[in-house]
Amino acid sequence: MGMFDKPILVFQTDFTYKEGAVSAMYGVVKTVDRELEIFDGTHELPQYDVWSASYRLMQCLPFWPKGTIYVSVVDPGVGTARRACVAKTANGYYVVTPDNGALTHVKREFGILEVREIDETVNRLPSTRGVSVFHGRDLFGYTAARLASGIISYEEVGPLYPVGEIVSLPILEPTVEPGHARGIFEIDDPNFGNLWTNIPTDAFRKAGFRYGDTVRVRIFHGDTPVFEEDVLYHQSFGFAAKGAPMLYTNELMKVGMAVTEGSMTERYGLSYGPDWIVDLCFA
């Protein structure tokens, strides 16, 4: 099997580049097989934030070639009884990750055909046995490299377990009806401070909303109201006045919220997750 016949490996973690963890993971991959291609998703996920890991997987996975092996390591329970797994997705990818909620969005958006628990007696870096705090290197990176290189088949990762046992985080499903939509802020765009809802743009437009409309936006953190304003809904940031909040269509074809040339999160003290509720109606 030649270099370009082997699956690409993509890594995302909360490790940062401040010390050698990422380098060590990639060294293990290249020790298994020098030909393997490695790319970074991100290593700047918020510390211990499994929700963000789950979302970023869903956000990026479908833009890679089919067969890509995506390694996601945000693992606050490293070394405990939580499962280490490789999931086979319905849209043609493999995800190597702790089963701690990190598969929530991929399972919901694309579906998972099978999931296997990594057999540590076979698929663990032999030179580091006894270490329990760096499974990104010793288990996930090593297993992903062996799978990508063809040293092991998917069936040799370890035993199957029911897809229904995959750990899932709670998500409030969006509701959309004529003149009204309700959902959550699922994630932020940390560099610009935008917030992305889980409300599909197609459904939003079928509910009657059009570019150029003014929309009443109410935001709740749990049951507590934290924002209420009438804002412009348009296709991109330049249609709103500088410094004004607005709604737009984000890169995943869902409704997003931004401050033009500013930060929605910083200006209004907002964040994301299953308890950040967004309610939209005609002004």
How many Cβ atoms sit within 10 Å of the Cβ of residue 93? 22
pLDDT at residue 172 in the model: 87
Question: Helix 21-32 crosses helix 142-149 at what angle (to 10 degrees)?
Answer: 30
In DSSP notation, 91-106 reads TS-EEEEESSSTTHHH
Question: How far, in Å, CA of 139 to CA of 135, rounded?
Answer: 5
Q: Are 229 and 239 in contact (CB under 8 A)?
A: no
Secondary structure of residue 157 in the 3-state scheme: coil
**pLDDT for the residue numbered 5:** 86
The model carries a pTM of 0.94
Task: Count how many residues are written for the chain.
Answer: 283
Neighbours of 132 (CB within 10 A): 11
Q: Comparing C-alpha atoms, which of 111, 97, 116 is closest to residue 11?
A: 97
Q: What CA–CA distance (Å, rounded) separates 217 from 228? A: 6
Q: Is residue 192 helix, strand or coil?
A: coil
Distance of CA 122 to the CA centre of its chain: 28
Each of the 283 residues of the chain gets a pLDDT tens digit; together they read 556 789 999 999 999 999 999 999 999 999 999 999 999 999 999 999 999 999 999 999 999 999 999 999 999 999 999 999 999 999 999 999 999 999 999 999 999 999 999 999 999 999 998 899 999 999 999 999 999 999 999 999 999 999 999 999 998 899 999 999 999 999 999 999 999 999 999 999 999 999 999 999 999 999 999 999 999 999 999 999 999 999 999 999 999 999 999 999 999 999 999 999 999 999 8
Residue 164 CA to residue 257 CA, distance in Å, equals: 34
Which residue ranges form the domains of the chain, and what is each CATH number?
Answer: 3-165 (3.40.50.10790), 175-282 (2.40.30.90)
> What pLDDT, on a 0 to 100 scale, did the predictor assign at position 1?
56
CA distance 50 to 276: 16
Structure tokens at 210: 């059009």
- At 106 the pLDDT is 98
